[in-house]
Amino acid sequence: MKHLLIALSLIFIYSCSDNTSPAKKDSTTDSIPHPPPFNPGAYQFMIGRLENLHSRLIIEGKGDSLLDMYSEDPQIIQNGLTFYNGKQGVIDFWKKENPYLSHVRTMIKLDGDNEVLYETGIEAASGTAKDGDQEFRGSNKYLVIWKKENGNWKIALEMWNALPVSDPKDGD
């Protein structure tokens, strides 16, 4: 009887104890890979370099190289309501664009995760119209969505809206 009482006591104590010791853990959740937390600072330098390359290719008029920076199914949404879809849309857009003398983007915010990044900022551009008679200059707010494809960051969506132009006569 004494042995039965001791055995029942041990069973009771064991059943009330915490069974989550390292040797007893459920290993199903341990095998799920967890990405590291998103750290925008780790991506800002890399995206900044990609933006510099993007601007340089625009200024140099290197459409084929520029096309390589876009995802498999990109979209450009130009100021207003013009949509350019797919790789052919990107080709069509950059063929019609005026030659740029300068193009600079300044990132304001970068957010996202390890697969998709959302970049917002301000860009300034200037150039000469294709007919060579008229110069243009402008500033835009922009949004670029970067998507990781085959380990490389590509532009999935690029859109901008013109910032208002102030007239020096207005005192702004």
Which pLDDT score is estimated for 87?
94
Residue 149 has pLDDT above 70, yes or no: yes
Strand, coil or helix: 85: strand
Spacing of C-alpha 170 from chain mean position? 38
Least confident of 79-88, 93-102, 140-149: 93-102
Per-residue pLDDT band at 99 (split at 50, 70, 90): confident
Residue 14 has pLDDT above 60, yes or no: no
Closest by CA to 103, choosing from 149, 68, 52, 167, is 52
Strand, coil or helix: 10: helix
Least confident of 14-18, 75-79, 91-95, 110-114: 14-18
d(CA 116, CA 99): 30
- Range 143-163 average pLDDT: 94
Which pLDDT score is estimated for 72?
95
Contact 140, 105 (CB under 8 A): no
Query: What φ, ψ does residue 87 adopt, rounded to 5°?
Result: -60, -40
Q: What is the enclosing helix (H) or strand (E) of 57?
A: helix 40-60
In tens, the pLDDT along 40-70 reads 788 999 999 999 999 999 888 888 889 999 9
Q: Which residues contact 130 (CB under 8 A, 6 or more apart)?
A: 98, 99
Contact 81, 73 (CB under 8 A): no
Q: Where are the domains of the chain?
A: 40-164
- Range 29-44 average pLDDT: 73
- Which pTM does this prediction carry? 0.71
Tell which CATH architecture fits domain 40-164. Roll (3.10)
